[in-house]
Structures are given as structure tokens and as C-alpha cells.
Chains A and B, each alone.
Chain A
Amino acid sequence: MKELLTGNEAVARGAYEAGVTVASAYPGTPSTEILENVAKYKEIYSEWAPNEKVALEVSIGASIAGARSLAAMKHVGVNVAADPLFTVAYTGVNGGLVLVTADDPGMHSSQNEQDNRNYAKFAKIPMLEPSDSQEAKEFTKIAYKISEEFDVPILLRLTTRICHSKGIVELEDREQVEIKEYVKNIPKYVATPANGRKLHVKLEEKLKKLEEFSNNTSLNKVEWYDKKIGIITSSVSYQYAKEVFGDNASYLKLGFTYPLPKEKIKKFANEVEKLYVIEELDPYLETEIKAMGIEVIGKELIPRVGELNPDIIAKTLLGENKEVIEKNEEKVVGRPPTMCAGCPHRGLFYELSKKKNVVVTGDIGCYTLGSAPPLEAMDTCICMGASISAGHGFSKAAQVNGRETKVFSVIGDSTFFHSGITGLIDIVYNKGNAATIILDNRITGMTGHQHNPGTGYTLMGEVTNEIDIVKICEAIGVKHIEVINPLNLKETKAAIDKAMEVDEPMVIITKWPCVLKKSPNEEIEEYGLADRKICEVDQDKCKKCKMCLKVGCPAISFDSEKGAIIDDTMCVGCDVCLQVCPFDAIVKVGE
């Protein structure tokens, strides 16, 4: 049977067909849908882990137990999981183990565009790079065979275009794979220095054999056409190269990109007149090929920044410029992402934006949009969890140097579980005074509503133990904890004012469900979501002061004659603008 699948759906299908029985991940664009789709196969135990390190460790444990297992994450997630990654390369596996990294060239939804192919070489783990959905499925299956044959974990590297593009995939049946026997093996699985030294030697031997495999496998294949131009390429860049050069060049298409097939590369290079390396981001292939003494043209023409596409290849390598219809830039206004109408984060950031002499250290999630105009209530955003720890560092630096700045760290519920807790422990243990605000919107918002330890449901849809954030904070030793409704500006302001005064660790938890969340009935009841009335502007009372525009709600617009206008299809009745209006011109419809 043939189906149109995204790369992410295809990886999930590949895991299913390969007989995987355990999968763990932390959501992150563009990787999220892998586990969401794995969860549809009831034969596989699947879970959201609190972070990527935990996800990989769960998969490692399952592999040692003898099961084929999978961990999936976005590129920066591998940084979090790097610690176990480098050592599991040494220990090897029992059941096949595949780590999927979904890179984001062009940063569609990420804070950097690191090229995780470098991890394969750095961590010494074999890497496969599919170039479309069909290969995403096939390569996933092959990865398990290689993993078990060579006793190594495998890095399956995707990019946004592979993850989120659909292509035709031929579906096959699931292979029935029995769990392997677990045999206690201390020298293999206990990475002490003494064992590690031996394991490293073994790993280098495995890599030699894997290079031989790389030279012989059909994952690395030559397509002969015109030999005037030869192109070495991998991943989606192969598709772009084919699009541009068609039959006018020969290709060495690499699907197994660590260790590289050096013999195959040499042979190919010898037979073509001019050699291009076409790859996205870093000169990963190019550097290795050049180190072999082979002349190639690559990054001196093809940019190492941003996403690649056929246009760039045609322009840089062939000097082609397509005729286009001219776009009038004056008639295009930017459309930056923004907090939704009714977003529970809006009230908090509105109140924070009014405070003077405060610094707000931010984190990764929808609330990073608190840095955008008109609120602009955020000073930093580095990586997941950094809000609290960087906030503590900022605060200590100010304190030690006699500067009076109050630091607020803002972090989401899912992100707090991911890596915020350790930062909070640091503040309490080391007597910091930065205030932590946990924006608990009852779901993992930005990635499209995945459950997390605080929501009470698992990925597989089961009701589960709900981790209580207040109790965690109490257990850590935070004495000042306030749980507030962030849509109530008075309440929000009062909590922030209190934190300004307190010279000890304080946590404010803003608790209100994400406006896009499909809340279960008990939540709809608890928060009174069903009977909220939307807002409208009483045009007679509106003084056109534009105060309501300062909350940056996409449902409010302004007309120089009529004044403020609320879009009744977008408003959900959160009442933040109503509380901001100094003239009571914003009222509830029907009241």
C-alpha cells in the first residue's frame, strides 16, 4: 500500500515495521510528530520524557534490556542528551538503538541552526541521512540492522524539510522481533575508567569495520550520467541537486555519512572532471573530502548559513537567475508570530513590562514571544532551562557589584520540568533572590499541545500521576510561593510587587490553560471556560487613547475614526484589555 507521509510519519512507520517496542522523546519542532505517530502503534510503548537526556537514557536502558528502541529530539535536544550519547557509543547496544536528530536549517522554529552531523564524528556513532519520506522509513529499518550487527547506536539525521515534507511511502508489515536475552556484562555496560579504556579501543575497531561497510553499502550509491560534473551530496540536498542538474551530472548520493566511504569517494572523484559537494550548513562532507587530498568546490560558493534550496544551487553553481515577477516590498508588512488572543501569558508580560529596574530572563516556549513588541518584556533567551539559572547569575553579579536590579525568570510548565528545577535548586541552595515565574498553561504549548508531567495524562492517553509544581517548590525550600490567575491583572501585579520586596527565593505560578488547548471537561468547569463572554468596545466611551493596543492582542485593531475595535471571531473574553482601558470603554457583550 502507498501513502503520502511526512518524514516524521515515515520514521514512526519505520520504527513500527522494524519491531521497535520502546520509544521516548521530548517534543521539539521539527521532531515532535515522530513520537506522536509512534504512539498510534499500540505495539510500541511510547512516552514523553521530561527532557532529551532522560529520553535517550530510557532508550539506552531498553536497548540493554534487549528491545529495539528509539529516541527522538530536535537538534538542540541532542545537546541536552550529549552526555549519555558519548558513552553509549562506547558501551554499544543489545537491542538496536536509534537516536533521531531533527535539525532546523533556516531556524523555522529554533534558537540556532547547529549541524548535528558533527555529532556523529564527535561522538563516534554511525549516521544515516535519508533524503525523502520513503528513505526515512527504509533507513530507520536498516538502522536497526546495522545497530545490532555492529553493536553500536545509530544517529538518524533529519532536517525540517525531511520531517515536514510529504512523499509517497510504500507500507510493509511489522517484523516480529523477539526481545533479546539480557546477559549481565559488567565490562560492557559499566563505563568505569578501566572498562572505558577497553571499550574505546573496541569502538575504534568497530568504526574501521563500519568504514568498510560504508564503502560497500548501497546506502551510498553512484548514479552515472554526464561525467563532466560529479556531485557528492546527502539528505535533502540530493533532491535539490537532482532538481537543478538532472541528467547533466553524475551523483555520489550518500545515505550512510559516518564513517564516510573514503574508497568510494576517491573512485568517484577520479572519474569526473569537476567535483561539487552540495550540502546544507557546515562543510561536513567537504572538510573530510578535502582532507583526503581531493579537490572539490563547495562552501566557497554554497552558503554555510541558512536553508539550502534549488534556487541557491542554480545561482551559485550555474549562475542561473530565474525570471520573476517583481514584488513590491512596500506592500508587504511583516507577519511575526504573536501570542494568541486570550493567551494566559499576556497579562503577566503586560504587568512585567510596566516595571522599571527589572530584568526578565526568558526561556524557550510560546512565552518567548513576550520579547516581541509591544510588550518587549524579556531581556534574555538562551536555551531550555536557562531562564532560572542565568537569572540567578545575573542577580548575583548585580548583587556582588552593588547594582540594584530585580531579576524575574519566566519559564513554562513543561520547560520547568525539562531543566528548570535544577536552576531553582541552585537559587535556594546558594541563597539567591531572583524571582521565578512558572507559566503553567497546563500543556506544552509551542510544539502543539503535548502532555507533560504536570498535565495528568501520558502520551499513550492514560490518566497518570500529576506532578504538583507547588509541592516541588516547597520541597526545594522555597518559602514564598504564590499561585495566581494571570488574566487578573490586579492579582498579577500584587504578586510581582511582592516579589520586588522579597529578598529571598520566590516562585509565582501563573495557572491558566492555554487558549488553544482542548481542555478536558473538568478543566473547562474548573476555570469556567464554557461561560466566558467576549468583549466589545463601547464606541461612545472610547477616547482613542490606544492603551488597549499596548497588550498586543491580535483581536484588537484601531481605526482613527471609530477608535478601538475588537474582532468578535477572535476574542475569547480573557478580559485583559477590559482591565487596561482607563475609560471603561471595553465591556462584556450582553452585559
Chain B
Amino acid sequence: MTEKGNILLVGVGGQGIILASKILSKGLLDAGYDVKMSEVHGMAQRGGSVTTQVRYGEKVYSPIIGKGQADIIVAFEKMEAMRWIDYLKPNGKLVINDYEIPSVPILVGKDEYPKDIIKELEHKLDVIKLKAAEVAKEIGNIKTQNIVMLGCLVEALGLNEIDWEQKIKELVKGKYVDINIKAFNKGKQLAR
């Protein structure tokens, strides 16, 4: 069992990050850890960046993770990985979704979506990359890409002693349980 950990999930409003971190923190809580989770929303529903920070251990004080302190960053969107990369420990892991959501300055033509983000990050550190949106589409619902990412995270951190399928059953609406469990297991596979 990992003794403590700092997990940072980053992405864009609407990608399902909040649900993924709810499942994550419930699992950690039921495993007996002290858990703190911090989310920044507010204006996020209007297309802004979304981050949630989950910290677990025997005793957790600060609800937020400092720079250079995250054991793992799970980036639901490529550019968000770069935006938050200085929060990762120099030997930390990065799970990155090869998926672009252009922001308004890019849409209106003031800026271009940055090229070769993953390439540059791979050069610096250990990266697990995947195309979660495509995987989710194959499974049958693009909205499950958050759970694909969650599966990836759980595998990368080795948090295998927790019954995650049970947590999904507790927190996902009935008719979506099966597809989300499928997404979760697919994500786990991809991180191996």
C-alpha cells in the first residue's frame, strides 16, 4: 500500500474531472486513508481550466498541492499538462490524454494551439500517453473518457487493493455503471 500521495487532475470544464476525483477520493477514504480534495470551479463551467487535487495519507493537512509536489498529474487535455507541469515532482509520473480543446484566444485566431507538447514533455519525464476520447468512443460513450483516465491513474499509482468497481457502482448512475466499469478496466490496461 502506498503510504501517501498527491494527485493532481487537470483539464477543461465539462470533461468529467470532478466525477473522476469523487470516485478516487471515496475509494481512498474507504481504504482508511485521511483524504483531502480541493477543487477550483467558480467560472470553470464557462470553458476555463479545471483542477482537482487529491491528497491522501495517514494525516493530511493542506488541501492543496505545492509546486514540485505532485506524485502524478493526470491531464485530461494536452495543453493543461504543460500549464501544470511545474507542480509535478521531478521524478513524478504524467498521464496525458492526447486530446486538444482549443481555448478562445486560439479559436478567434489570436494564438495557435501549441505544437509538440507531448514530445517536449516526453523528453523531460516518464509519460503515459493515451487517446482516452477515442478509447471511450470505441467503448460506446465519449463521456466515459474521464473513467478511462481514472483507470490509468489507479494502475500508474498501483492503488490496486481498493475495490474500484464498487466505488463506480456507488457514484455513477445505474444505467451507466457497466460502460464505466468497461472504461475503467480499459484505462488500467493502457497504463500497463
Q: Mark A residues whose CB is within 8 Å of B.
A: 2, 4, 29-30, 108-109, 132, 160-161, 164-168, 236, 239-240, 242-243, 309-311, 314, 322-328, 330-340, 366, 369, 372-374, 446, 448, 516, 546, 549, 552-554, 556-558, 569
Binary contact readout B56-87 vs A (1 if CB under 8 angstroms, 0 otherwise): 00001111101111000000000110110111
Which residue of B38, B64, B104, B114 is within 8 Å of A310 (Cβ)?
A: B64
The residue of chain A having its C-beta at the shortest distance from the C-beta of B60 within the complex is A167
Task: Decide: B120 and A328 in contact? CB cutoff 8 A.
Answer: yes
Expressed in whole angstroms, the minimum distance between the Cβ of A572 and any Cβ of chain B is: 13
- A311 with B108, Cβ < 8 A, contacts A324-B86, A331-B117 known: no
Contact B63 A167 (CB under 8 A): yes
Asked if B42 and A335 sit within 8 Å, CB to CB, the answer is: no
A324 near B90 with CB under 8 A, answer yes
CB distance from B79 to the nearest CB of A (A): 6
| A-chain residues with CB within 8 Å of residue B67 when the two chains form the complex | 311, 322, 324
If over half of A's interface residues share one DSSP class (helix, strand or loop), that class is named, otherwise mixed; here it is loop
- Could you say which residues of chain A place their CB within 8 Å of the CB of B47? 335-338, 340, 554
A73 CB, min distance to chain B CBs, angstroms: 16
Please list the residues of chain B having a beta carbon within 8 angstroms of any beta carbon in chain A.
Answer: 12, 25-26, 29, 34-49, 60-64, 66-69, 79-80, 82-83, 85-88, 90, 102-114, 116-117, 120, 124-125, 142
Contact of B79 among A167, A332, A554 (CB under 8 A): A332
19 contacting pairs across A/B (C-beta < 8 A): A4-B37, A29-B41, A29-B42, A30-B42, A132-B36, A167-B63, A239-B61, A324-B88, A326-B124, A328-B82, A331-B79, A333-B105, A333-B114, A336-B48, A336-B104, A372-B104, A373-B104, A554-B104, A557-B102
Question: In whole angstroms, how far apart are the Cα atoms of A401 and B85 in the complex?
Answer: 54
Q: Which of B25, B46, B106 has the most CB of A within 10 A?
A: B46
CA distance A457 to B68 in the complex (A): 47
- Please, how many angstroms separate the alpha-carbon atoms of A553 and B107 in the complex? 8
Interface contact B44-A337, CB-CB below 8 Å: yes
CB < 8 Å neighbour of A236 from B63, B88, B105 = B63
Contact between B43 and A309 (Cβ–Cβ < 8 Å)?
no
Q: Which residues of A contact B60 (CB under 8 A)?
A: 167
**Looking at A164, A335, A374, which has the most chain B CB atoms within 10 Å of its CB?**
A335
A328 to B80, CA, bound (A): 12
- Contact: B48 with A331, CB < 8 Å? no
Contacting pair B40 A108 (CB below 8 A): yes
The smallest C-beta distance from B54 to any residue of chain A, in angstroms, reads: 9
Whole-angstrom distance between the alpha carbons of A168 and B55 in the complex?
12
Contact B109 A164 (CB under 8 A): no
Query: In the assembly, what is the distance between CA of A309 and CA of B65, in Å?
Result: 9
Please state if B113 and A333 are interface contacts (CB–CB under 8 Å).
Answer: yes
Bound-state Cα–Cα, A325 to B73, Å: 12
Contact residue among B26, B107, B124 (Cβ-Cβ distance under 8 Å from A4): B26
Query: Which residues from chain B contact A374 at a C-beta distance below 8 Å?
Result: 108
Minimum C-beta distance from A368 to chain B (A): 10
Q: How far is the CB of B182 from chain A (nearest CB, A)?
A: 21
- Asked if A165 meets B63 with Cβ closer than 8 Å, knowing A108-B42, A323-B90, A336-B48, the reply is yes
Contacts of B111 in A (CB 8 A): 333
Complex CA distance for A109 and B46, rounded to whole angstroms: 12
Known: A109-B43, A165-B38, A311-B66. A338 touches B104 (CB 8 A): yes
* CB–CB A167/B35 < 8 A: yes
Q: How far is the CB of B19 from chain A (nearest CB, A)?
A: 14
Residues of A contacting B103 with CB < 8 Å?
333-336
Nearest chain A residue, comparing its CB with the CB of B109 = A558
CB closest chain-A residue, reference B39: A164
In the assembled complex, how far is the CB of residue A376 from the closest CB belonging to chain B, in whole angstroms?
Answer: 11
Q: A332-B79, A337-B44, A369-B46 are in contact. List 6 more A-B contacts (CB 8 A).
A: A167-B35, A332-B114, A335-B103, A336-B47, A552-B104, A558-B109
Instruction: List the B side residues contacting A29 at CB < 8 Å.
Output: 41-42
Closest residue of chain B to A167, judged by CB? B36
The interface residues of chain A lying within 8 Å CB-to-CB of B12 are 335
Q: State in angstroms the CA–CA spacing of A95 and B68 once bound together.
A: 49
Min C-beta distance of B64 to chain A, whole Å: 6
**Please, which residue of chain A has its CB at the minimum distance from the CB of B12?**
A335
Would you give the shortest CB distance from A140 to chain B, in whole angstroms?
A: 19
